[in-house]
Amino acid sequence: MRTLIKFENIVKEFDGQLVLKGINLEINENEFVTLLGPSGCGKTTLLRILGGFVDQTEGKIFFEDIEISNVPAYKREINTVFQKYALFPHMNVFDNIAFGLHIKKQSKDIIQQKVNKMLRLVGLDGFEDKMVTLLSGGQQQRVAIARALVNEPMVLLLDEPLGALDLKLRKEMQHELKKIQKEVGITFIYVTHDQEEALTMSDKIVVINNGEIQQIGTPIDIYNEPENRFVADFIGESNIIEGFMIEDYQVMFDDKKFECVDYGFDDKESVDIVIRPEDIDIVTPEMGMLKGIIRSSIFKGVHYEMSVETEYRDFIVHTTDYTEPGKEVGLHFFPEDIHVMYKMGTY
């Protein structure tokens, strides 16, 4: 795949506060990339810098190997779906979608044709004469997507576009967005704080915290091999434990030695260890690697979320089998379920 966009050491300062601390990132053609992080981590700022709405304090942006750092927003081949859609309230659906084409002075026939094609793509045929203010949130969302895509950009930026929708609609739109992306075959850069959304849709996830990239990888990489405590904690639920490596494939925590699949650390190096709640099995106390007492068991729909108190810490365990609180149990996990990470700030 060809590199389409390259961020080179992007720094952004707002009133003396560093929002982005030197972002280096490459984005390929036809990729669905998600910038994921908690609110205030700088992900939206990075997107707005790419869109041309905010100037970076330092650093360069390349688009197809041409620097676009100083190209104004209206000249960039990038379109945006804004957080609150930003539809023009004085225009109907057709005129909203046709706005960009009108600006480019395209002929009436072509505009008509392209807008109709977009309306079909987002499933809004027959809505062209409706005023946008009369549409539901989901419909406005579709108009916003159509309005951006009709300009045939090479990149579509989406700034938390599903944030205002209810859960069911959000899930529907997630699949639809992914479908649209495959259909039009362009790069989508998607900003969200919702890790589930990121895991569902992305080809590549960029986890950002405090203006720094924490990890870049596929959803599976990010989930299974979090690079540090922050990523492990932010993506899904996890038990994060401090420990140290005895040698390759041997880690020690809670005064016990465990086999693991990680290597390449220094001997006796302090590490963070993550064990996902669904990777822990509840067994009889004799069979377990750690012993503990179940303190609570909450029904979550598909699984029970249990809190198991052991000598050193409470473990969260997800299991489909109910065990009543107060019972003494053993915890069992396999070597590949133990993920060893570098301590934050040392990698």
Interface residues toward another protein, by CB under 8 A: 51-53, 72-75, 78-80, 82-84, 86-90, 92, 99-100, 103-104, 131, 133-134, 147-148, 151
Q: How far apart are CA 68 and CA 76, in angstroms?
A: 8
Cβ atoms of 342 and 271 within 8 Å: the answer is yes
Torsion of CA 202, 208, 213, 215, to 10 degrees: -50
Whether 242 and 49 have beta carbons less than 8 Å apart is answered as no
| 18 alpha-carbon distance from chain centroid | 22
Alpha carbon distance 83, 12 (integer Å): 21
Q: Which is nearer to another protein, 189 or 280 (CB)?
A: 189
Instruction: Say how far residue 266 (Cα) sits from the centre of its chain.
Output: 31
Kindly state the tokens that stand for 235. 């993506």
Residue 343 exposed, middle or buried by CB count within 10 Å (0-12, 13-18, 19+):
middle
Backbone angles phi, psi at 4, to 5 degrees: -105, -45
